[in-house]
Amino acid sequence: MIKRLLITGAAGRLGSHLRGSLRPHAQTLRLSDIAPMAPAVAGEEVVPCELSDKLAVDRLVQGCQAIVHMGGIPNEQPFEKILDANIRGVMHIYEGARRHGVERVVFASSNHVVGFHRQGDLLETNCERRPDGHYGLSKSFGEDVARFYFDRYGIQSACLRIGSATHEPVDRRMLHTWLSYRDLSELVRCCLFAPSLGYTVAYGVSDNRDPWWSNAGARHLGFEPRDSAEAFRSERERVPALDPADPARIYQGGGFVKNGPFENDF
Ligand SMILES: NC(=O)c1ccc[n+]([C@@H]2O[C@H](COP(=O)([O-])OP(=O)(O)OC[C@H]3O[C@@H](n4cnc5c(N)ncnc54)[C@H](O)[C@@H]3O)[C@@H](O)[C@H]2O)c1
């Protein structure tokens, strides 16, 4: 049982799911976001906070033993937006963790840190990172921040390269990348309670056929996915496949590899 567990991005898709599934594992859940959240029930604290505000994040982190950092922009956006929410945000979370003695952080990284590897290649957790945009770059930076705060300050971290966490896979790519909500909850639970976490990179993916990612390097987490995209295959394969020359079909990052640049950046 964790005394006080902070979940950032608690109003979001994954954060609001984890709010329910992590409830039995913490005496108090501290829930934070900039978007409106459901009111606190017994054993919860709702603390709105902007991740780019260093002092506010410092106050947010104080008193927590562990952090599940889901907050931030989850897709490709102009650099300045990503800079504030994801890059400054992750730095502020770890700096708060250092100042207040937080023992463990579970960081929502993304498959988009390796998005320019080719579809069909099987990546290990220690493969070269090949981010596919501003968003992937910000998550890659977050993984480096996690590594640095472990090497220098001993804060243990799991960087979860989440695939596609949705109720069900909605396209052909997700037959490879899908992570069910049930498997997400179990993966995060494993990261919070693994006897020794150190600095761990793991792929957030269910037990899908023809995987692109191997979690052999993260076996110590004890994570055993229970779901698979297979049940959705026939329906998803009814939609015609993309042109073989389309970068979204060549690279693991799918459509992200061709998003932007954004005209309003200048
Ligand atoms: N859903 C997926 O398939 C997937 C895949 C890979 C990685 N991820 C990562 O997992 C995390 C959760 O994803 P999600 O799908 O729930 O996204 P989401 O957009 O539903 O949730 C993210 C939350 O972060 C909050 N947020 C954004 N900017 C903020 C800021 N500056 N300050 C405070 N809060 C801010 C948003 O209000 C939102 O509620 C994200 O970090 C995302 O990058 C998700």
pLDDT band with cut points at 50, 70 and 90 for residue 259: confident
Structure confidence at residue 260 (pLDDT): 76
Q: Which atom of ligand 1 is nearest to the CA of 35?
A: 37
Environment class of residue 216 by beta-carbon count within 10 Å: exposed (0-12), middle (13-18) or buried (19+)? exposed
Please state, in angstroms and rounded to a whole number, the distance separating the CA atoms of residues 199 and 179: 22
Please report, rounded to a whole number, the percentage of residues in the chain having pLDDT higher than 90. 97
Q: Whose CA is nearest to atom 20 of ligand 1?
A: 12
The pLDDT of residue 264 is above 70: no
Q: What is the mean pLDDT of the chain?
A: 96
Q: Whose CA is nearest to atom 2 of ligand 1?
A: 165
Q: Whose CA is nearest to atom 15 of ligand 1?
A: 13
pLDDT band with cut points at 50, 70 and 90 for residue 266: low
Both tokens assigned to 123: 């990546």
Both tokens assigned to 95: 């700096």
What one-letter code names the amino acid at 29? L
pLDDT band with cut points at 50, 70 and 90 for residue 185: very high
Both tokens assigned to 52: 């780019």
Q: Which atom of ligand 1 is nearest to the CA of 10?
A: 39
Q: Can you give the CATH number for the domain in which 171 is found? A: 3.40.50.720
Q: Which atom of ligand 1 is nearest to the CA of 162?
A: 6
* Tens-place pLDDT, residues 55-72: 999 999 999 999 999 999
Comparing 115 with 265, which gets the higher pLDDT? Answer: 115
Q: Backbone phi, then psi, for 108, in 5-degree steps?
A: -75, 90
Sheet of strand 44-46: strand arrangement? 44-46, 26-32, 2-8, 66-69, 104-110, 156-162, 199-204
The number of folded domains in the chain is: 1
* Distance (Å) from CA 108 to ligand 1 centroid: 8
Structure confidence at residue 263 (pLDDT): 61
Please state, in angstroms and rounded to a whole number, the distance separating the CA atoms of residues 151 and 243: 44
Please state, in angstroms and rounded to a whole number, the distance separating the CA atoms of residues 109 and 142: 7
Tell me the pTM: 0.97
How many residues are given for the chain? 266
What residues line ligand 1, using a CB cutoff of 6 Å? 9, 11-15, 33-35, 50-52, 70-74, 84-85, 89, 108, 110, 162, 164-165
Structure confidence at residue 218 (pLDDT): 98
Residues with catalytic roles: 135
* Tens-place pLDDT, residues 81-117: 999 999 999 999 999 999 999 999 999 999 999 999 9
Q: Which helix (H) or strand (E) holds 247?
A: helix 247-250
Structure confidence at residue 104 (pLDDT): 98
Please state, in angstroms and rounded to a whole number, the distance separating the CA atoms of residues 189 and 181: 12
The DSSP-derived string for 125-188 is TTSPP---SHHHHHHHHHHHHHHHHHHHH--EEEEEEE-EESSS--SSTHHHHEE-HHHHHHHH
* Tens-place pLDDT, residues 204-255: 999 999 999 999 999 999 999 999 999 999 999 998 999 999 999 999 999 9
* Distance (Å) from CA 70 to ligand 1 centroid: 6
Please state, in angstroms and rounded to a whole number, the distance separating the CA atoms of residues 46 and 36: 10
List the domain range (segments joined by +) for residue 126. 2-265
Structure confidence at residue 199 (pLDDT): 98
Sign of the torsion formed by the C-alpha atoms of 177, 92, 35 and 3: positive
Residue 180: which of 106, 138, 230, 239 has the closest Cα? 230
The pLDDT of residue 22 is above 90: yes
* Distance (Å) from CA 179 to ligand 1 centroid: 15
Q: Which atom of ligand 1 is nearest to the CA of 160?
A: 7
Please state, in angstroms and rounded to a whole number, the distance separating the CA atoms of residues 51 and 33: 8
CB 120 within 8 A of CB 249: no
* Tens-place pLDDT, residues 128-183: 999 999 999 999 999 999 999 999 999 999 999 999 999 999 999 999 999 999 99
